[in-house]
Chain A
């Protein structure tokens, strides 16, 4: 006796494709790519900043640079002599040179980005750092030493201002990305429902609950958002990695080399995109359904 032939599985109630899906998918892909690259940069920069924080532990940092026939080391030695004689200065240390010093010096206002022409010094103070910094700056200026001074205070520190600006930019980019995905997913869900009025009406008169219909359309948007976010994030990681290893002189040159752990920070993004897509599409579907009895 032969078994009856297996019945084909029921097809999806909402058919494949639909207007706006490709556009929304591409947009989410691109946003995810930007988010991935920005996240990798932020994580790498954050790691560097933590290293800098450990090295720049004294209250004042001085950046000096080569000028004319004077080398960076000579300028650093001269700056140490001048600063050491200022009232309130307890000790002056030359910080071991690393390539990332150029970024710190650049943020502080040094005119060069060549690590070979930059030296950083740190000053320990016996009095109020801001007052001592002002006196050291005056002395260096009077001595003709090309230098910039940072007293690590929120009021005047260019380094802290740059860090705050970077954090604000990263947060703003994250918010824009979240908002964009929210709007794209909500719009896509509404559009899909609007163009499938017959299917909606048939489901409604067949007794489908709002939850069933909402889930049906929201699932499509969530799957699209997650797929586009996974692809965009992977593309972003590949681009950042390739840039880091093979690219021309770039911001990565100043940062420490990317680690695999840095890439781990972008892994949650597709999940985040999926959660945003779920919330946005559910709300959009519910509001669309509530427009009819």
Chain B
């Protein structure tokens, strides 16, 4: 029994049943100087409000997919559509506006070390020009949600790996994004901490956020119970999580 489906075909089926995809890759290739082809003719679509796991071995292009979605890179070939708009056609101010609708957590989690945990969490609202009075209570809620309230005034350097992961998550969602990209959420975490992060991601998904999680950990993807996009040598295939678990 085949457990994989062609990603493009799947996207078309999804598109019939669901609203227009918020992320669509059409024949996307990405080449980097020195690395050669990172992605090859990649096509898939992700419906708004969905939760997808992107799995694949190291170097398969997971992080590159996330970077393309959050407009941190441009494809060498093909079309990346975000919220129905061709990313390549966006002008710089439009790209900045688009990024405000996309939260991203990359590995390793980087912070502004001289700022407190609270100030790092409020970076998003701050850089888009919101007034402190408008976002302070939201940030306090986020810190409570991620169990970082008691360390709000501490510098990020004193946080544990799990706490840093949660801080990165709090920062990524501080602007209430429509899409949340999370790269290797379980990296360096024990099973309990990884489950805790996964619970937080489920909370966000339930609240309507589209979550795209990239991980080398097929177990984590299988446990999520959501559709899995498997990347292998720069190409993608869609796998159902239960099927993935069965296959294992």
Residues of A in contact with B (beta carbons under 8 Å apart): 7-8, 10-11, 13, 15-16, 198-199, 201-210, 212-213, 290, 292-293
Are B122 and A10 in touch, CB under 8 angstroms? yes
Residues of A within 8 A of B123 (CB): 13, 202-203, 206
- Is B115 at the interface (CB under 8 A from chain A)? yes
**How many residues belonging to B are interface residues under a CB distance threshold of 8 Å?**
35
Counting from the closest, the 4 A-B pairs by CB-CB distance are: A207-B100, A208-B127, A15-B114, A206-B124
Q: Taking CB as reference atom, which chain A residue is nearest B113?
A: A15
Alpha-carbon separation in the docked complex, A209 to B127 (Å): 8
Select one of A8, A10, A207 contacting B99, CB under 8 A. Answer: A207
- Is B36 at the interface (CB under 8 A from chain A)? no
Q: Could you list some 28 contacts between A and B, CB below 8 A?
A: A7-B136, A10-B115, A13-B115, A13-B126, A15-B114, A198-B110, A198-B112, A201-B72, A201-B110, A203-B123, A205-B99, A205-B104, A205-B106, A206-B100, A206-B123, A206-B171, A207-B96, A207-B127, A208-B127, A208-B128, A209-B93, A209-B96, A209-B97, A209-B128, A210-B92, A212-B127, A292-B72, A293-B72
Which of A16, A199, A206 is packed against the most chain B CB atoms within 10 Å?
Answer: A206
Residues of B within 8 A of A206 (CB): 99-100, 123-124, 127-128, 171, 175
Q: Taking CB as reference atom, which chain A residue is nearest B87?
A: A293
Known: A13-B127, A210-B92. A204 touches B99 (CB 8 A): yes
Q: Taking CB as reference atom, which chain B residue is nearest A16?
A: B114
Select one of B74, B106, B111, B128 contacting A207, CB under 8 A. Answer: B128
Known: A204-B72, A206-B171, A207-B175. A212 touches B129 (CB 8 A): yes
- Is B10 at the interface (CB under 8 A from chain A)? no
Alpha-carbon separation in the docked complex, A103 to B223 (Å): 93
Alpha-carbon separation in the docked complex, A205 to B96 (Å): 8
Are A11 and B116 in touch, CB under 8 angstroms? yes
Q: Taking CB as reference atom, which chain B residue is nearest A212?
A: B127
Residues of B within 8 A of A203 (CB): 123, 127
Are A208 and B112 in touch, CB under 8 angstroms? no
Closest chain-B Cβ to A293's Cβ sits at a distance in Å of 5
Alpha-carbon separation in the docked complex, A208 to B92 (Å): 11
Residues of B in contact with A (beta carbons under 8 Å apart): 70-74, 92-93, 95-97, 99-100, 102, 104, 106, 110-112, 114-116, 118-119, 122-124, 126-129, 132, 136, 153, 171, 175
Are B92 and A202 in touch, CB under 8 angstroms? no
Alpha-carbon separation in the docked complex, A202 to B153 (Å): 20
Are A293 and B74 in touch, CB under 8 angstroms? yes
Closest chain-B Cβ to A272's Cβ sits at a distance in Å of 30
Q: Taking CB as reference atom, which chain B residue is nearest A7?
A: B136
Are A207 and B171 in touch, CB under 8 angstroms? no
Residues of A within 8 A of B126 (CB): 10, 13
Q: Taking CB as reference atom, which chain B residue is nearest A292?
A: B72
Q: Taking CB as reference atom, which chain A residue is nearest B124?
A: A206
Q: A206-B124, A293-B95 are in contact. List 19 more A-B contacts (CB 8 A).
A: A7-B136, A10-B118, A10-B132, A11-B115, A11-B116, A11-B119, A13-B112, A15-B112, A198-B110, A198-B112, A201-B72, A202-B112, A202-B123, A206-B128, A208-B96, A209-B96, A210-B96, A212-B127, A293-B74
Alpha-carbon separation in the docked complex, A15 to B114 (Å): 7
Closest chain-B Cβ to A12's Cβ sits at a distance in Å of 8
Residues of A within 8 A of B118 (CB): 7, 10
Residues of B within 8 A of A213 (CB): 127
Q: Taking CB as reference atom, which chain B residue is nearest A15?
A: B114
Q: Taking CB as reference atom, which chain A residue is nearest B96?
A: A209
Closest chain-A Cβ to B138's Cβ sits at a distance in Å of 14
Closest chain-B Cβ to A213's Cβ sits at a distance in Å of 8
Residues of A within 8 A of B129 (CB): 212
Are A210 and B93 in touch, CB under 8 angstroms? yes
Residues of B within 8 A of A10 (CB): 115, 118-119, 122, 126, 132
Which of A8, A10, A16 is packed against the most chain B CB atoms within 10 Å?
Answer: A10
Residues of A within 8 A of B97 (CB): 207, 209
Alpha-carbon separation in the docked complex, A206 to B121 (Å): 11
Alpha-carbon separation in the docked complex, A78 to B151 (Å): 95
Residues of B within 8 A of A13 (CB): 112, 115, 123, 126-127
Which of B73, B96, B97 is packed against the most chain A CB atoms within 10 Å?
Answer: B96
Which of A199, A213, A293 is packed against the most chain B CB atoms within 10 Å?
Answer: A293
Residues of B within 8 A of A11 (CB): 114-116, 119
Alpha-carbon separation in the docked complex, A232 to B97 (Å): 42
Residues of B within 8 A of A199 (CB): 112
Q: Taking CB as reference atom, which chain B residue is nearest A10?
A: B119
Closest chain-A Cβ to B181's Cβ sits at a distance in Å of 9
Closest chain-A Cβ to B177's Cβ sits at a distance in Å of 9
Alpha-carbon separation in the docked complex, A289 to B42 (Å): 28
Closest chain-A Cβ to B167's Cβ sits at a distance in Å of 12
Residues of B within 8 A of A292 (CB): 72
